Structure formats: structure tokens, C-alpha cells
Amino acid sequence: MARNKHPEETVAKILDVALELFFTKGYDNTSIQDIIDNLGGLTKGAVYHHFRSKDEILSAALDRENQNLYRELKLIRDDGRMTGAEKLQALFQASVNGPQLEIWSHIAPSTDPVKNSRLLGLQYRSVFEETAPCYVRPIVEQGVRDGSIKTDHPKEFSEVLVLLANLWASPMFRMATPEELQTRISYYLEIARVLGVELATDGIEEPLERYRNTFNENTEIFESEDAS
């Protein structure tokens, strides 16, 4: 069998086709076979050589789309002009305004953690393997040194803040009414204050509400198409 000399082109094609299908059919209504059928001759084996599941395809697509955000987060983390608390505020603002929420709202995967347990698991794993250790913990440790963050446990502090933000306060896996979302955000800030840092809702509430509205609209569209 001839060896693929340009695997990065194959991966890019799979991600491009998958994202287009996720946007037009919805994540839950798109199967691996749908993706294969739209790849213009690529075999099932070629897809499974790079990805074991639809969830992994989405995760890789999000990583690709988030490259500019990752660069921005590194700039915030390494900025010598801000305190740790200021960096943490900037980090959350940048994350909420990044492409992931926008993409997620348009592909509208089910918020049922059992139905999409692998997606939840991938998000959970990213907290401990990437977001908390690479971006948040260095900022928290700086904040402890400069006095803007109060904690004796920067590692656990960082993990809790990100877990609550990504899997509890965010509507990605727990949908909410506008009132519930506002209450959840307010309580998240209260928890952060008790843990040892003052954060504000600046730049956070509007994109979360926009996400909620777009997600609900697309969920209705995809459910009606699936039922027809």
C-alpha cells in the first residue's frame, strides 16, 4: 500500500468536511459515515488512521480553530505589565470570546452528559492536561507572589476555577435560562472571591448570552430536520 506523503493535508480535509457537516446538519445528526461519504474518495481506513471517533475529529477541529486563542493566552500569561489577578481576568475574557463557544453554538451538540459523554470527557481531560497547568496555574502562582491572589494551593485553585468555568458556569454542558445563567455567573464570581481572587463580569456575560440564544436556535433547527 502506498504511503500517504502528505498526512497533514488528509487531516485538514477531514476536519474541513466534518466542520461543514457539523454546521449544516448539527453535530449529533452527523455520523462518521457522513464524513467519509463527503471526502471525495478517501476511505474509512484513512479516516480511522487519524481519528478513532467523531468526538476526536471535533476535538482536533477545535484545537485547530483555537490556535490564535492559544497564542493570545500565552501573551496574557507572559505579559510583564499585569498582576496575576489582572491576567486571570484577561484570560477568562479571551477564552469566552474565543472561537470554541461560537463553534459549539452552531453545531449544537446535546447537553446530555450521558449522550455526549466522550465530549464531556475530552473537556474534562483538557482542564487537567492543558488549560489549568499551562495557562492558569502560572498566572495564579504569579498572583500569589504579587499579592493579588490569595491561596496556599495554586494547583488546586487553578483546577477548581477552570472546572467550574468550563463545566458548570458555562452553558456548554448545562443549558440555562437568562436568569439561571446570570445567577450562575454571579455565584461563580462569589466562589472565586472566597477562594482568593476578585473577578468581574466584564466581557463575559454578553458572549455567553449570545451563545445561549444561538445554541437554542440551532438545536430547534437540527431537531426539526432530524424528525422530518
End-to-end CA distance of the chain: 43
Query: What percentage of the chain reaches a pLDDT higher than 90?
Result: 66
Q: What is the pLDDT of residue 2?
A: 41
| CATH domain 7-60 topology | Arc Repressor Mutant, subunit A (1.10.10)
Locate 198 and state its grid cell: 476578585
5 or 214, greater pLDDT: 214
Question: 499551562: which residue's cell?
Answer: 134
Q: What is the mean pLDDT of the chain?
A: 91
In degrees and rounded to multiples of 5, residue 196 shows phi and psi of 135, 15
pTM of the model: 0.87
- The predicted-structure confidence for 125-135, as pLDDT tens digits, reads as follows 999 999 999 99
Q: What pLDDT shows up at residue 4?
A: 56
The three cell numbers locating residue 29? 445528526
Q: Where are the domains of the chain?
A: 7-60, 66-227
> Based on the number of CB atoms within 10 Å of its own CB, is 119 exposed (0-12), middle (13-18) or buried (19 or more)?
buried
Level-2 CATH architecture, domain 66-227: Orthogonal Bundle (1.10)
Q: What is the pLDDT of residue 5?
A: 58
The pLDDT score that the predictor gives to residue 170 is 83
pLDDT at res. 113? 84
The model's confidence at residue 208, banded by pLDDT at 50, 70 and 90, is confident
Q: For residue 144, what pLDDT is reported?
A: 98
Strand, coil or helix: what is 32?
helix
Residue whose C-alpha cell is 458572549: 207
Average pLDDT over residues 180-200: 93
Question: How confident is residue 60, by pLDDT bands cut at 50, 70 and 90?
Answer: very high
pLDDT for position 171 = 82
1-59 pLDDT, tens digit per residue, is 344 557 888 999 999 999 999 999 999 999 999 999 999 888 889 899 999 999 999 99
Dump strand ranges (E) for 36-189: none
